[in-house]
Amino acid sequence: MSKTRKRHSLLCRVEKLLIFLGILALAWLLIFAYLGFFKRDIKFVDTESNSSINLFGNNNKQEDAPKEATVPIGVMIENSVAARPFQKGLSSAKIVYEAPTEAGISRFLAVFPSDSEMPKIGPIRSVRPYYIDWIAEYGGALAHVGGSDEALRKLAQMNRDEMVIDLDQFKFGNSFWRENIGRTALEHTMFSDGNALRSLVTVQAEPKKVTTTTPKSSRFRLRNKTAPGESAHEVNIQFGFPAYAVRYSYDAATNRYLRFQAGAPHIDQNNGEQIAPKVIIVQRVRAWPLADGKSRIGMQTVGSGNATVFMDGHAIAARWEKSAQTERTNFFDDAGNKIEISTYPAWIEVVPDYNSVEYFARLSS
């Protein structure tokens, strides 16, 4: 064999070796990139230095926390007329936000503490931007099935900034499932439960270091400084169409407010019981139509406005304040005292200022 052929053969071998080593290096880089992206540290910063009891997590400031996801989970629950016969899990949530999405149709954000019972819940639907601001108050995770373009952009950014953990069914389909509900349209059939969602949270965020209370305290209680307010046994809220009219009727025997929709009792299909929160907060906000051709609205979440707190059969005139996107919404009475609520469940009805709210006391027989 000539020297030229020997040299060519040697070069071919070297070239093949370099290609092999390059492929091997690329494979290792992809593995490290994968682990670095999906197993990120998550830190929660609580600006409240005087938190005493934390409903949604550990109260103790610590340098090294257990590698368990101890964050609340919010779930977007549908409230269309077609979905109501299949609604499950709302009565188990500690806090529920109700707000309109488009065309006067309301939707729920049900918030579950990290250590509370979380049964099957659904039907799960898409998210809008303002719901993200509310779950961000708790430093929580948000389970949903897609969302508006604006909401998805916002959620992606807040997920990167470790303000909210994004649990989108389109990304994590194995943690959700569709149920066979006769001839019901497909969009009304998505469900999940606490086991699936909490396992997903643990995978998506392995907290290795918690700088302060995790997450922000959500303790409320009615301070003695706050007057009990006038009697209020019936509360009526109009979101637009009669099918989405809400009524609460105070039951003194249980100290709860029985919830009705479109004149019918609102039933949780998990237990067959009527939903009956102990506290209702009506939060009045500015809202405006969006030019998206889909009848969606924008809604105020930061700033201040009027509110009414219903508890123990009484109404307390109040104001709400929220200083920033991830800060807590606080409520104050007319004297400036902070209204705190220690009893649950609490339902927060976020009502645009152009919709009507009325309440009254029953006449004694």
Residue pair 107/244 in contact (Cβ under 8 Å)? The answer is no
Give CA–CA dist 347/96, Å, rounded. 5
**pTM of the predicted protein model:** 0.77
**Which pLDDT band holds residue 109 (cuts at 50, 70, 90)?**
very high
Give CA–CA dist 129/142, Å, rounded. 12
Are 246 and 307 found together in one domain? yes
Within-domain flag for 335: yes
Are 196 and 241 found together in one domain? no
Q: Give tens-digit pLDDT for 211-222.
A: 223 333 344 344
**DSSP state at residue 336:** S
Within-domain flag for 59: no
* Residue 187 confidence (pLDDT): 85
Please give the structure tokens belonging to residue 109.
Answer: 């954000």
Give CA–CA dist 55/171, Å, rounded. 29
Are 77 and 197 found together in one domain? yes
Are 279 and 337 found together in one domain? yes
Give CA–CA dist 306/282, Å, rounded. 9
Domain residues for the domain of 137 are 73-204
Are 183 and 278 found together in one domain? no
Are 173 and 238 found together in one domain? no
Within-domain flag for 304: yes
* Residue 57 confidence (pLDDT): 37
Are 253 and 299 found together in one domain? yes
Choice between 30 and 109, residue whose per-residue pLDDT is larger: 109
Phi, psi (deg, nearest 5) at residue 34: -60, -50
Within-domain flag for 184: yes
Number of domains in the chain: 2
Helix (H/G/I), strand (E/B), else coil: 285: strand
- Weakest mean pLDDT among 74-83, 158-167, 199-208, 245-254: 199-208
* Residues, the chain: 365
Compute the mean pLDDT over every residue in the chain, rounded to the nearest whole number. Answer: 80
Beta-bridge partners for 191: 177
* Residue 84 confidence (pLDDT): 93
CATH number for the domain harbouring residue 82: 3.50.90.10
* Residue 180 confidence (pLDDT): 84
Percent of the chain with pLDDT over 90: 56
Query: What's the whole-number mean pLDDT along residues 303-310?
Result: 96
Beta strands 177-178; 165-168: pairing state:
unpaired
Within-domain flag for 217: no
* Residue 20 confidence (pLDDT): 64
Are 200 and 234 found together in one domain? no
Within-domain flag for 216: no
Q: Is 146 exposed, middle or buried (0-12, 13-18, 19+ CB in 10 A)?
A: middle
Across 20-34, 102-116, 133-147, the highest mean pLDDT is recorded for 133-147
Selection from 304, 301, 250 nearest residue 279 by Cα: 250
Please give the structure tokens belonging to residue 227.
Answer: 């007057």
Q: Omega into 345 within 30° of 0, i.e. cis? A: yes
Phi, psi (deg, nearest 5) at residue 120: -55, 135
Q: Give tens-digit pLDDT for 278-293.
A: 999 999 999 998 887 7
Q: Which of 187, 204, 221 is the last residue of a domain?
A: 204
Are 87 and 191 found together in one domain? yes
Residue pair 302/308 in contact (Cβ under 8 Å)? The answer is no
Are 186 and 261 found together in one domain? no
Q: Which of 204, 239, 270 is the last residue of a domain?
A: 204
| pLDDT higher than threshold 70 for residue 39 | no
Within-domain flag for 16: no
Q: Which of 204, 238, 270 is the last residue of a domain?
A: 204
Selection from 269, 267, 260, 268 nearest residue 242 by Cα: 260
Choice between 116 and 194, residue whose per-residue pLDDT is larger: 194
Q: Give tens-digit pLDDT for 61-108.
A: 233 333 345 789 999 999 999 999 999 999 999 999 999 998 889 999
Residue pair 142/166 in contact (Cβ under 8 Å)? The answer is yes
Selection from 250, 223, 42, 219 nearest residue 139 by Cα: 42
Within-domain flag for 160: yes
Residue pair 124/176 in contact (Cβ under 8 Å)? The answer is yes
Query: What's the whole-number mean pLDDT along residues 296-300?
Result: 91
Choice between 202 and 32, residue whose per-residue pLDDT is larger: 202
| pLDDT higher than threshold 70 for residue 321 | yes
**Which pLDDT band holds residue 45 (cuts at 50, 70, 90)?**
very low
* Residue 97 confidence (pLDDT): 98
Please give the structure tokens belonging to residue 319.
Answer: 């104001």
* Residue 64 confidence (pLDDT): 39
Go through 259-298 and write b for each residue having 16 or more CB atoms within 10 A of its CB, e for each that does not: bbbeeeebbbbeeeebbbbbbbbbbbbebeeeeeeeebbe
Selection from 275, 351, 278, 344 nearest residue 106 by Cα: 351
Are 190 and 85 found together in one domain? yes
Give CA–CA dist 318/340, Å, rounded. 12
Are 197 and 253 found together in one domain? no
**Terminal-to-terminal C-alpha distance of the chain:** 116
